[in-house]
Chains A and B, each alone.
Chain A
Amino acid sequence: MDQHCAVYMPKLINCKMTNISLPTDPIAATPTPSPLAMGTVQMRTGGGAAAYLRKVWAIASKDLRAELRAKEIFSTMATFSVLAVIIFGLAFDLRVQRSAMVVPGVLWVVILYTGILGLNRSFGAEVDRGSLSALLLAPVDRSAIYFGKVLANLVFLLAAELITLPAILVIFNTNLFQTWVLVGLLLGTLGYVSVGTLFAALAASARARESLLPILLLPVMLPVFMAGLKLTAITVDGRGMEELQRWVGILAAYDLIFLTIAFLVFDMLWEET
């Protein structure tokens, strides 16, 4: 992990976001070299799990604070999800006899598309503001950046879902505030966001990233989509507890697999060649 700092040291000079002042005169720096000039910035790797969690929280809280001030991600997601529910309501109004039959599908489709909106901004905003290199310069493990972003995206999407559920209650007259639906939402969103954050980072460096992300993400997310759909459908229909627990288990397993692979792979994203 330590070599990341060394690799990125030359970039410090170009980086306008950090308020680190580098000595411009090499001779002036020679007698007592400041640790910065010598490229000896130490990554704080010690401290155990608590310190790691603090770093994750630092990244996440940066995103959350930026969102509280700029209000550009959550407001878009919430508005879009309500709009999508209304459009689905109109679309199914004439032909569907019992609205409860289509509700699970509506819920999960809305979540998938709402999620794309937020995920696009997750790294897209960093690229637009030119703050991506500043973020990568943070003296923390890359995985902490990943988990921080996952946490922030999770909060955004779960908050948007809290708007979606009442909208569905009003438009489709189906109460989805049931324990197992909420459990499914939590697990499904976690799986979705864990892959979505990785792919958002991948797509951020491509041309046409905004339109590319859904094409990359949606087919890969199909297992989570199907599991969430089934779980919601079983709960809405009030069917057996046994099947329900099986799908919760499947969702949890997917979350674990996706989080692990994404965590393993995320380190490889930003190495410069």
Chain B
Amino acid sequence: MSTTALPRRIAVRANGWDFAQLLLNLLTVAAMAALMWAALVYAKPATNLAGTEQTAQRIFYLHMGCNIGALAAFLMSLIGSIVYLITRNLDWDRVTQASIEVGTICGIGTTLTGAIWAKPTWNTYWTWDPRLTTVTITLLIYVAYLLFRNGIDNRQTRARFGNIYAMFAFLTVPMTYYSARWFRTIHPVVFNGNNPDAQGGFNLGSTMNQTLWVSTISFCLLFSALMIMRWRQLRLEDRIEAVREELE
């Protein structure tokens, strides 16, 4: 290998964006650590529960946080797909893909923490509750999106079809939710709920409320950090692909 094969050295130098990213990542780590402390230590135990149920209740802060992360991610994916379909700028396609990947992970987190929590509380890991159904189906839809993307070779077609599917997928989520809700339900409606059949509805005390806020903020940070990292990675991937094609 002579030096002429690579005429100039490719300098890897961190720029301002890398430092901003690093800052965001560190902030996220700090926020998640604060959340762990708040959820496990700071928040007062639920007064209406006892024993295992009382301990298990603390998973709620993670459960809700993951849920909010997933919600933010899928909303972002909807924005990404609509803006892509209007502007045809591949950056927005990357926004869609990055959000859906992060959202899928958050959604899996929601489902797992929910199942772990449901076992001591509802005495079953799984029930056909509208929220559970909706989250699971949403996850399956977005996994299908990721599989579908992999199956299309042309970059532009992949972006267009992926975004059409992602938009459609998001719009069916409320329909799935309401269908399942009218089907039957036992999950407590946390906010503004009015459901006499719900098992284990609750009011939040002030420390619990604060912890919930910490959870919301730190998971939003986590989502942004992961999403932006993945977005930049996808950008680089496309650039590498373009450079490789140029070389051939």
What residues make up the interface of A, taking CB atoms closer than 8 Å to B?
195, 198-199, 202-203, 205-209, 212, 215-216, 219-220, 222-223, 226-227, 230, 250, 254, 257, 261, 265, 268-269, 271, 273
10 interchain residue pairs of minimum CB distance: A206-B151, A273-B156, A223-B175, A223-B179, A226-B179, A219-B140, A219-B141, A207-B151, A215-B144, A219-B137
Known A-B contacts A206-B151, A208-B151; the reply to A269 vs B164 at CB < 8 A is yes
| Contact indicator B168/A205 (Cβ below 8 Å) | no
Cα-based distance from A269 to B183 in the complex (angstroms): 35
- State whether the Cβ of B122 lies closer than 8 Å to any Cβ in chain A: no
Chain B residues within 8 Å of A208, by CB: 151
Across the interface, which residues of A come within 8 angstroms of B40, CB to CB?
Answer: none
Asked whether A212 lies within 8 Å of B140 as measured between CB atoms, the reply is no
Say whether B175 contacts A205, CB under 8 Å.
Answer: no
Interface size on B (CB < 8 Å)? 30
Chain A residues closer than 8 Å to B156, beta-carbon distance: 273
With a cutoff of 8 Å between Cβ atoms, the chain A residues found around residue B147 in the complex are 212, 215
Residues of chain B at the chain A interface (Cβ within 8 Å): 85, 88, 133, 137, 140-141, 144, 147-148, 151-153, 156-157, 160-161, 164-165, 167-169, 171-172, 175-176, 178-180, 182-183
A215 to B176, CA, bound (A): 16
- Distance (whole angstroms) from the CB of A199 to the closest CB of chain B: 8
Q: Return the chain B residue nearest A225 by Cβ.
A: B179
List A contacts of B85 (CB < 8 A): 268
Evaluate contact between A226 and B169: CB separation under 8 angstroms.
Answer: no
A203 touches B175 (CB 8 A): no
Partner of B161, one of A205, A226, A254: A205
A270 to B85, CA, bound (A): 13
A257 vs chain B, min Cβ distance (A): 7
In the assembly, what is the distance between CA of A226 and CA of B172, in Å?
13
**CB-CB nearest in chain A for B149:** A206
Chain A residue nearest to B183 (CB atoms) is A226
Contacts of A205 in B (CB 8 A): 152, 157, 161
